[in-house]
Amino acid sequence: MKDQTIPFNLPHLTGDEFTYVAEIARTRKLAGDGQFTKWCSDWIEQRTGCARALLTHSCTAALEMAALLLDIQPGDEVIMPSYTFVSTANAFVLRGGVPVFVDIREDTLNLDERLVEAAITPRTRAIVPVHYAGVACEMDVLNDIARRHGLKVVEDAAQGVMAYYRGRPLGALGDLGAFSFHETKNVISGEGGALLVNDPALALRAEIIREKGTDRSRFFRGEIDKYTWQEVGSSYLPSEVIAAFLRAQLEHAEALTADRMVSWNRYHAAFADLEFRGLLRRPIVPEHCDHNAHMYYVLLPDHIDRQGVLEKLKAAGVASVFHYVPLHSSPGGQRYGRVHGGLAVTNRQSERLIRLPLWVGMEEQFPARIARIMMEAIVGADS
C-alpha cells in the first residue's frame, strides 16, 4: 500500500478461510445446511442466546424472512427510521407493507424511542429499530411499547455483531433479529447474513420459509417421511462455501472486534481537540451500550460544505464517504412509505456525516494523520 493512500475498507482474512473452503471442495458438499452452516448457527445461538439462528445469503434475505414470518399484508404499517439502508424498508414493501419513517436521536442517530408511540395506528404491525454503527437502540423502551400495543420488534442488527445493550447481545433483544456478514462488516463472508429467531413460537415457520416454504429440514432430521410445500417461502440458504468462510471469521470474532476497537479509540483521541474547538462532533456512545467499532464517523458543523471536505480528503489519499441518503427523501420512500412528524434530525445529521476508513489491522498512524487532514480541510472551508 502506498503511504499516501488510505482505503476506506480492507476485508481481513484470518487465515483459516482457505482451509475450510478446501474442505468443502474435497468433500464436494457445496449446498447449504451442511456441517459449516450448523457450526455457524450453533455459534450464533450460543453467543446471543437466541432460540434459533438461521444462516441466510444476506441480511436483506433475513429481513425478508422476518416480513414473511410476521405475515405482513398490504397496508400494514411498520415503524422504522428513514436513516437506514434500503433493505430495512424493502423487506416489508415487498409484502405490501408501508414503512412509517420516524425521526432519529441527535446523539446515537438511532430511532428516537420517544417518538415511536405517537406513530402507532390501528394498521401498525411492527417496530424495526436499526442499531446504527453497532450502537444499540433503546431496546427496553421499544420492547415495552411493543408489548403494550401488541406489536412485534424486528432488530436490524446488520452492523451489530458482537455489540451489546445493557450486557445483552444485539439481534437477540426483539422477536426477530438480522445480522449481516457483508465484506464491509466486522465479521465477513463476502455476502451472507443470519436471521435470529428469539420468539420460539416462530422458529418452525422460519425454518419452513427459509426452505422454499417446505418442511424439508424436518424430513432430513427424520421427523417426517416426506417433505411437502407448506406455505410461501423462498430459497434463503447460503452455500456451504459461504458458511465455511464465515466459520473462520466467527472463530476470531473477539479478536477482530478488539482490533477494530483499538483503531476506533485512536480516532476518538485524535479528534478530541477538534471537537473541543467546535470543528466537528465525534460519535456518542451511551454508557450502557458496548459498541463493536463497526465504523468511525464525524459530524461537521452546519455551515461547512461536506462535499468540499470529502474532496480534500480524497485529494490527500483518504477514501471517505457520506452515508445514507434518508429513505423518505428518495423516490422509493415517497412512493411506498410515509413520514410521521418532522424528520429534522434525520435531515440535518445525514447532511453532516462523514464516514472514515476503518478495518482490522489499520496502521497505527492513520487516525492521527486523517485528523490532521480533516482539520486542514475544515479550517480551509471555514475561512
pLDDT at 1 over 60: no
Q: State whether the Cα torsion 358-364-369-372 is positive or negative.
A: positive
pLDDT tens, 130-171?
A: 999 999 999 999 999 999 999 999 999 999 999 999 999 999
Q: Which amino acid is at 192?
A: G
Amino acid at 239: S
- Residue labelled with grid coordinates 457520506: 322
Mean pLDDT of 10-39: 92
Tens digit of pLDDT for each residue in 112-126?
999 999 999 999 999
Percentage of the chain lying above the pLDDT 70 cut: 98
Residue 231: φ, ψ to 5°: -165, -175
Compute the distance between CA of residue 257 and CA of residue 161 in angstroms, rounded to an integer. 9
In this structure, is the dihedral angle defined by the CA atoms of residues 185, 189, 190 and 196, taken in order, positive or negative? negative
CA distances 32 to 29, 182, 247, Å, are 8, 18, 14
**3 has a pLDDT exceeding 60:** no
308-326 average pLDDT score: 94
Please compute the mean of the pLDDT values over residues 293-304 and round it to a whole number: 96
60-69 average pLDDT score: 98
What torsion, rounded to 10 degrees, do the Cα atoms 50, 56, 59, 60 define? -130
**Pick from 81, 85, 63, 82: nearest CA to 72:** 63
Q: Taking residues 238-259, what's their average pLDDT?
A: 97
Based on C-alpha coordinates, what's the Rg of the chain?
21
| Residues 96, 73 contacting (CB under 8 angstroms) | yes
CA distance 176 to 164: 16
Q: What's the pLDDT at 383?
A: 57
Query: What pLDDT score does 331 carry?
Result: 96
3-state helix, strand and coil shares in percent for the chain, rounded to the nearest 5 = 40, 15, 40
Q: Quickly state the pLDDT bin for 382 (edges 50, 70, 90).
A: low
pLDDT of residue 2: 44
Q: What is the pLDDT of residue 138?
A: 98
Q: Provide the mean pLDDT of the chain.
A: 95
Confidence label for 187 from pLDDT (cuts 50, 70 and 90): very high
Q: What is the mean pLDDT of residues 225-249?
A: 95
Say what the pLDDT of residue 4 is: 62
pLDDT of residue 379: 87
